[in-house]
Amino acid sequence: MAAKYFITGISGFVGSELAIALAKLGHIVVGVDRVYPHDDTVGDFAELGIEYVNLDLLDKERLTPLLHDVDIIIHAAGVSRVSDARANPLECINSTILATTNLIEIVASQTESATARKPLFIYLSTREVSFYDRLDDSQISIDHIYAISKKSAEQLILAFSNSFNIPLAICRLSDVYGGKRDHVNKLLPTFVKRAKQNKLVRVLDSETRFHFTHIQDVIVSILEIAELLKKSGNMKKFFEIWSEESYTAEELATLVVSSFKSNSIIDYVPRESDETMQQINFSYQEWKFSPKVSLREELCRLSGI
């Protein structure tokens, strides 16, 4: 049965890929973003009947009517990278915490009565929160602005969900990649591009571990979670969507160069180990993320070898 989805951040990588996948499955998709989508994405939206509205989530007057008669809300808007949050903390707070508060407050006001239709609310958060939760107070720094903003948004949504009985899933994603809309300046696309060109691949951080998750695995997982939310009695609200397989940047560079049989030289600048970013094992209950696409397989497919 077709559902009506409302997606925030629909012009972004994850938001646009989700919108297109849902529309292809026959669902009705409406989305907002204050940034216009790329031309090729605009074409895909038009072909699939996806409705896009150029809108800031802080604009309550224009946002409110768009949320009527929605079955599922996927909140993907907000600053999406640690470096951007650190460079502009105020923008991070506005687009993540304040925008989220405005959105969930509107949803709560529309579902306040006992008979009101309650949409499923899915918030796309980040693995950074899971690491942040394990820090001592003395370890917290400005480098954690991104995680702090996402954590705050999670707590605000959780508070409204509990108070107004709004079905909720908070999905923590990690290092999502794949598809033609992936950001070209991220680590993996950069390594792939330089390996294809047989250019120097430079590694600036050899300590941080990345848990790469293919966009198709994210889409499948969110669809599965949406079905879980529809079942009465479901109490799980947090879902960790990332592979237990992880790579350092140095390991990733080696894998990419090898997969493309490239002549690229790998050069890296070692830095001091960050004790707070060491690999942490997480336990899963009730629902467990099960990736279908491994990074190694995807690189082999892309290389054509």
Q: What is the CATH number of the domain that holds 135?
A: 3.40.50.720
Residue range(s) defining the domain that contains residue 155 = 4-173
Distance CA 272, CA 268 (A): 13
CATH number at residue 272: 3.90.25.10
Q: How far apart are CA 296 and CA 253, in angstroms?
A: 12
Q: Do residues 117 and 201 both lie within one domain?
A: no
- On whether both 124 and 196 belong to a single domain, the answer is no
Same domain for 36 and 155, yes or no, is yes
CB 74 within 8 A of CB 122: yes
> Is position 56 within any domain?
yes
Could you report the per-residue pLDDT of 60-113, keeping only the tens digit for each?
A: 999 999 999 999 999 999 998 888 999 999 999 999 999 999 999 999 999 877
Residue 122 belongs to some domain of the structure: yes
Whether residue 68 is found in the same domain as residue 204: no
250: buried, middle or exposed (CB in 10 Å: 19+, 13-18, 0-12)? middle
| pLDDT tens-digit series, residues 265-293 | 999 776 555 444 444 444 445 678 888 89
Supply the mean pLDDT for the chain. 90
Q: Are residues 74 and 200 in the same domain?
A: no
Cα distance between the two ends of the chain: 40
Q: Does 168 share its domain with 60?
A: yes
Question: What is the domain count for the chain?
Answer: 2
Do 198 and 277 lie in one domain? The reply is: yes
pTM here is 0.88
| Residue 240 to residue 233: CA distance in whole angstroms | 20
**Whether residue 36 is found in the same domain as residue 133:** yes
